Structures are given as C-alpha cells and as structure tokens.
A and B are shown apart, each in its own frame.
Chain A
C-alpha cells in the first residue's frame, strides 16, 4: 500500500512568482487535507476535500491560495504572487471517511522557500 506522495519535495522561488504543489493521497481515501507548518510550530489546517468537494477552508487560506481536487483523486495547491511569509512546509494528508478514527496519514511535505 503506497502512502501519500507529494511533489515537489522542495521548491525555491522568487517573491511574486506562482507555485503549484501536487498531492496524491492513499488510493482508497476519499478525504484529503492541506496543512501549513512553519518552523518550530505544529501544522495548521488550510483546507479539506471530501471526494472533489472542498468542504472547509481556513481563514489562513487567503485569496492568493487555491486548492483543487478535480476528479476526487490527486489535489493541487497553488499560491499566486508568493510572499516571503509563505515560506513553510506544506503538508498533505488523507483519510477514509468510513474509518471511525478518521486517522489522517501525511505525505512527506513540500518545503517552500520564497526569496
């Protein structure tokens, strides 16, 4: 059983550029989550999908951020006009709605550095 995968693992960009990250969840999982983690902090929730529907968005997700899960499988997170404050680890997780624990399994993350 392959775990959650994320691409790229590292991204360095200049301020003002757009970046896009991809997440492939565990194949039978119907829920997918994005979190952001800054240095020395715990992850903070950004958004969550059940199948292709985006059901919850944090106020952290400004209008420069957009996430999609077009066919209910992989998801993309795009950041437009990046700012230095966007530098962080972006973590994706997935879970199975039928699982009473709703355990979220995380990918390796994408480390973003905005210069």
Chain B
C-alpha cells in the first residue's frame, strides 16, 4: 500500500519569491515514482514533475524542482520565482512498482501567490 502526506493545507508566497511545498510518502515498494500535479480552479490536473526512486539527481523542470530525500521519504516541490498564475492546488502522488497504474494522491496544498 502507498500513502502520501501533505501537511500544509495552505501556503502563501509573494510574487517572485520561492516556495516549498512539502510531501512525505510511505511505500513498501523498492521501485516507485513520485509525481507533482497542479490543479487550477478549472479542475484539470496538470503534470509538473517526476522523480524516480532510483534517480540520483533531483528532478528539475523549468521553475519546478523536486527536493528528493529518499532516506527521509520526502519529495518536496520547490517553485522558484513564483508567478500569479501559480495560484492553484498542488498534489503529490506516488506510483508504486506493484500498484498496477494506480496513483495514490495526498490531500493537496492550496498555494496563493500575492502580488
């Protein structure tokens, strides 16, 4: 079984500042993938970034980077230079090697970017 915990219900950040969204996970699988998705108020889940359990380097995609600490079972999302359009709900999710395609999501963190 997989579990994702996102302990920050809401976060606020000033435009152009960096923000870190926390995610811890639990799995018994040796091989797994961690994903972050953004969900604006329109409802669509937008894929942001992926980290594989065997990847030695932290993943980066433009302004998004993933701070992966395997021993601590954490996969925090860092958004640099926040923009007003980053205001949305952010979900961390895990796909275990034995999950047969089933993504397990956390509760999400609402990010609000202030001008």
Q: Measuring CB to CB, which residues of chain A are less than 8 angstroms from any residue of chain B?
A: 31, 33, 35, 40-45, 48, 50, 55-56, 58, 89, 91, 93, 95, 100-109, 111
Chain B contacts of A41 at CB under 8 A? 107-108
| Cβ-defined contact, A31 with B44, below 8 A | no
Chain A contacts of B91 at CB under 8 A? 42-43
Chain B contacts of A100 at CB under 8 A? 52
Chain A contacts of B102 at CB under 8 A? 33, 45, 48, 56, 58
| Cβ-defined contact, A106 with B104, below 8 A | no
Q: Provide the main secondary structure of the chain A interface.
A: strand
4 closest A-B pairs by beta carbon, nearest first, are: A42-B105, A106-B45, A45-B102, A48-B101
Q: Provide the main secondary structure of the chain B interface.
A: strand
Number of B interface residues, CB 8 Å? 24
Min CB distance A13 to B, Å, is 18
Q: Which of A56, A58, A101 has a CB less than 8 Å from the CB of B33?
A: A101
| Interface bits B33-77 vs A (CB < 8 Å: 1, else 0) | 101010000111111001010000000000000000000000000
Q: A43-B91, A56-B101, A93-B103 known; 7 other A-B pairs, CB under 8 Å?
A: A31-B101, A40-B108, A41-B107, A56-B102, A106-B44, A106-B45, A106-B47
| Cβ-defined contact, A105 with B47, below 8 A | yes
| Cβ-defined contact, B45 with A56, below 8 A | no
Q: Which residue of A lies closest to B52 (CB)?
A: A101
Q: Which of B4, B33, B43 has a CB less than 8 Å from the CB of A102?
A: B33
